[in-house]
Structure 1
Amino acid sequence: MNILKAPSWLSQFNFPYTSFEAVPQSVFDSINIDLDNIQHPEPLVSIVIPAWNEEVNILRSIASLAKLKTTIPLEILVVNNNSTDQMQKTLDHLHVRSVFQPIQGWGPARQMGLEEARGKYLLTADADGLYPPEWINEMMAVLSQPGVICVCGRYSFIPSPGFPRWKLTVHETLKGYLADARHLKRPHLNAYGISLGYVREYGLKIGYVMRKVRGEDGRMCFDMMQYGKVKQVKSSKARVWTGTRTLQMEGNGSYSRALWLKVGIELRRLGGMFVAQSPHDTKTSLND
């Protein structure tokens, strides 16, 4: 991983558009050609993207997924989580399935995607994520192993003003060490919707939390551990890229503040990191 700049393949998805109206039809046509080439009417894998008010970001994300290099039969399904912008118009111009979830929240959106998916396996993606060509192959190489029920991928940040790539690399390196420590006793804490995969049959048995609360993916992963193993996917070929807007919000525009807030949170949790979490009702538990 280059510590000074993001990979060059990201630039092809750096569309300059700020609204649905600004997107030329030729851009939709080009993406749709790629989508028609990779999607299958009887998918083995469903890639599910929950999205709220992402009329431009969803274009970038789907454009990257359309460039996947794979022979695995797949479909792309987007859950419109009660958006108030023009995201649905963007979706209507793309050759992907979409469904509408009026219940606001990450869990309800992912639950609808789980129910509507057609594949044996489900990979979750984010509307602001950019996916490398080998992502599905690397994720499935681990998820299809005997006894594996869920896989957790990793992600990096695309640099932006005030958030240079070298600083983000420091952040991600620390996050990687933390993920390895978590995996020993609490692997579900590495479950992030931007890059997650599981066996749909068991997802349907468990279901997502149906209220607006963070950590819906970790809750699902925790409950899945009764059925099989959780594994990490560390391959650089599977590393997803996303913008820094979450870090900017957390740090109020400051990288240093965002980093130290994260460090403080993890230090407070450190005592319990090497002890397995007790069984509990993930549908009602609080984030503490």
Structure 2
Amino acid sequence: MFSFSVPKWLNKHLFTGKNFADLSEAELADLKKRLSRFKDDQPDVSVVIPAWNEENNIFHALSSLASAETDLKVEIVVINNNSTDRTQQVLDELGVRSYFEIKQGIAHARQCGLEMAKGKYHLCADSDTFYPPKWIDIMVKPMMKDPGITGVYGRYAFIPPEGQGRLGLWLYERFTGIMVQIRKRNREYMNTLGFTMGFVTEIGRTTGGFKVGKERKFDNAAGSEYFTEESEDGTMALNLKKKGRLKLVRDERARVFTSPRRLLLDGGVWAAFTNRFKRNTGGMAEYITGKSKS
């Protein structure tokens, strides 16, 4: 049963109260050693992370991925999308394979990662998200077992801001979980999220990739002048469905924990809930029948 607290596996990756520059020599050495396992030149799986000014976030995500329990050959790749802070120095110091994408926007960053990935399977991750030890294996397994599954997407929860509980976040997660089930039949592409999804790399490349008409910024805050409903992850999902089907990975061992910063940019948990409730209830008939209002 899912609890209101964060899981124990996550604690070692929080580095509470520390920025990257505050890490001790021992912590740095440990992180580098763990990451050194994930540089295979002929990987089964590529885990790809887009990054824009994530100097003090990305080492948390990398720490969690570096603790993966897997026998698969894995490469971890970061796409630096014009960061102006020390993101690149962090990646260099940790010895992480990285590429620079000059076109600004998360769709361009993810597309660059898709083009550079070497693995048969591609897992999308984010700089502000923590990944449980079995995440890689559990996410890839459905595609390995069934060639008709071209893509997968997972479940998630939020890490509460310091000094706050998870009750409000839990309620928000329950609502989104209900919407996932409602959309699954006719609008499943809307369920896929770039911080926990995966696909067969070659199918992702040959069906259109992450390319979108309107560029989405990294935060995509609701109400901002740059907010757009079109997303690179949903576009990829639609492309993957041209060659097969998607699968929701329900295993709790693959549930990732992510930062609530996008909710906070929307004005807080309640404002984010209200915005999404209005958007989702407005499209309820479409989700159920599959027929657009227009």
| C-alpha distance in 2 between matches for 1:216 and 1:190 | 12
Name the counterpart of 2:4.
4
Q: Distance in 2 between matches of 1:156 and 1:9?
A: 14
Instruction: Give the conservation status (yes or no) of the 8 Å contact 1:17–1:56.
Output: no
Corresponding residue to 1:272 among 268, 276, 286: 286
CA spacing shift, 1:9–1:87, aligned 2, 3 Å: same
* Separation in structure 1 between the aligned mates of residue 291 and residue 254 of structure 2, nearest angstrom: 28
Q: Report matched runs for 1:18-57 at 5 Å.
A: 19-57=19-57
Q: Provide closer, same or farther for how the CA distance between residues 277 and 40 of structure 1 changes in structure 2, counting only shifts above 3 A.
A: farther
Q: CA deviation at 1:161?
A: 5.3
**Superposition TM-score, scaled by structure 1 size:** 0.90
Partner of 1:284: none
User: In 2, Cα distance between the equivalents of 1:137 and 1:234?
Assistant: 13
Say whether 1:83 aligns with 2:83.
yes
What is residue 66 of structure 1 aligned with on the other side? 66
| Local SS of the residue matching 2:184 | helix
Does 1:232 find its partner at 2:234?
no
Tell me the distance in 1 between the aligned counterparts of 2:174 and 2:20: 36
Q: How does 1:134-283 map to 2 (within 5 A)?
A: 134-144=134-144, 145-160=146-161, 164-205=165-206, 206-209=208-211, 212-213=215-216, 214-250=230-266, 252-253=267-268, 255-276=269-290
Separation (CA, whole Å) in 1 of partners of 2:241 and 2:235: 10
- 1:261 aligns to what SS in structure 2? helix
The residue aligned with 2:98 is 98
Instruction: State whether residues 119 and 200 of structure 1, in contact with CA within 8 Å, keep that contact through their aligned partners in structure 2.
Output: yes
* Structure 1 residue 17: Cα displacement: 5.6
The 2-side partners of 1:111 and 1:38 are apart by 21
1:28 offset after TM fit, Å?
2.2
Letter in 1 for 2:236: M
SS of the residue corresponding to residue 273 of structure 1 reads: helix
Gaps of 5+ in 1: 279-287
Kept in 1, the 8 Å contact 2:39–2:97? The answer is: no
**Further displaced range: 66-75 or 20-29:** 20-29
User: In structure 2, do the counterparts of structure 1 residues 240 and 51 end up closer, same or farther at CA, with 3 Å as the change threshold?
Assistant: same
Aligned-residue offset at 1:13: 1.1
Distance of 1:155 and 1:245 partners within structure 2: 14
Deviation at 1:143, TM superposition (A): 2.1
Aligned length: 277
In 2, the alpha carbon distance for the partners of 1:212 and 1:69 equals: 35
C-alpha deviation, 1:24, in angstroms: 3.1
Offset, 1:162: 7.9
- Provide the residue aligned with 2:225 in structure 1: none
109 and 164 in structure 1: CA distance in 2 versus 1, 3 angstrom threshold? same
TM-score normalised by structure 2 residue count? 0.89
State the Cα distance separating 1:78 from its structure 2 match. Answer: 0.1
Structure 1 window deviating more from structure 2 (161-170 vs 39-48): it is 161-170
After superposition, the Cα gap between the structure-2 partners of 1:277 and 1:45, relative to the gap in structure 1 and judged at 3 Å, is farther
Q: Is the 8 A contact 2:20 2:59 kept in 1?
A: no
For residue 89 of structure 1, report the CA deviation from its aligned partner. Answer: 0.5
**Per the alignment, in what secondary structure is the counterpart of residue 94 of structure 2?**
coil
Indicate the percent of aligned positions where both proteins have the same amino acid: 37
Change (3 A) 1:136 1:263: same
The whole-number CA distance in structure 2 between the counterparts of 1:38 and 1:105 is: 26
Q: Residues 17 and 78 (structure 1 numbering): CA distance in 2 closer, same or farther, change over 3 Å?
A: farther
52-61 or 27-36: bigger deviation? 27-36
Give the C-alpha shift of residue 196 in structure 1: 0.5
What amino acid sits opposite 1:113 in the alignment?
G
